[in-house]
Amino acid sequence: MIIEIAPYDLRWPAAFDAEARRIGTVLGDPQIRLHHIGSTAVPGLCAKPVIDTEQAIRHLAFRDYLRAHPAVAQAYGELKSRLAREFPYNPDAYMDRKDAFVKVHEAKALRWRARAP
């Protein structure tokens, strides 16, 4: 992958607004308030000309899935608590050890969200 940094583009705010409306529509609320963050949100600053919306959708799907599946949320909480006890001073190990659980359930969450009305 090549990282491309581009000069500031006056079209970036409008591109964000359009993407925010699409995300709001997917989430069922076209008026939802989203925040433009990152370098593309700073007038005059060069940036990677990419708006990362997949991460937001993935995080929201995971959150909603955990809310709708309390047993999975409980298992996730127990895993996090156990890992925090095992690795209290090693955040990398903590994150690495919960990664497999998160990936499995993020995939399930995205499929679940796709089927939701």
- Please check whether residues 25 and 62 belong to one and the same domain: no
Encode 73-98: b = buried (16+ Cβ within 10 Å), e = exposed.
Answer: eeebeeeeeebeeeeeeeeeebeebb
Q: Structural domain tally of the chain?
A: 2
* CATH number of the domain encompassing residue 100: 3.30.460.10
What pLDDT does 38 receive? Answer: 79
Q: What is the spatial distance between Cα 41 and Cα 62, in angstroms, rounded to a whole number?
A: 26
What pLDDT does 67 receive? Answer: 92
The neighbouring-strand residues paired with 47 are 6
CB atoms < 10 A from the CB of 64, how many? 15
- Please check whether residues 13 and 44 belong to one and the same domain: yes
Among 52, 74, 94, where does a domain finish? 52
Least confident of 64-68, 86-90, 100-104, 113-117: 113-117
- Please check whether residues 64 and 106 belong to one and the same domain: yes
pLDDT-based confidence at residue 1 (cuts at 50, 70, 90): low
* Predicted confidence (pLDDT) at residue 35 exceeds the cutoff of 80: yes
pLDDT-based confidence at residue 52 (cuts at 50, 70, 90): low
Q: What is the pLDDT of residues 54-88, one digit of tens each?
A: 777 888 889 899 999 999 999 999 999 999 999 99
What pLDDT does 106 receive? Answer: 93
- Please check whether residues 37 and 74 belong to one and the same domain: no
- Please check whether residues 71 and 85 belong to one and the same domain: yes
Domain with 100 in it: 53-117
- Please check whether residues 30 and 44 belong to one and the same domain: yes
- Please check whether residues 58 and 114 belong to one and the same domain: yes
- Please check whether residues 36 and 66 belong to one and the same domain: no
Q: In which residue are the tokens 């409008």 written? A: 14
The angle formed by the CA atoms of residues 102, 96 and 59, to the nearest 5 degrees, is 30
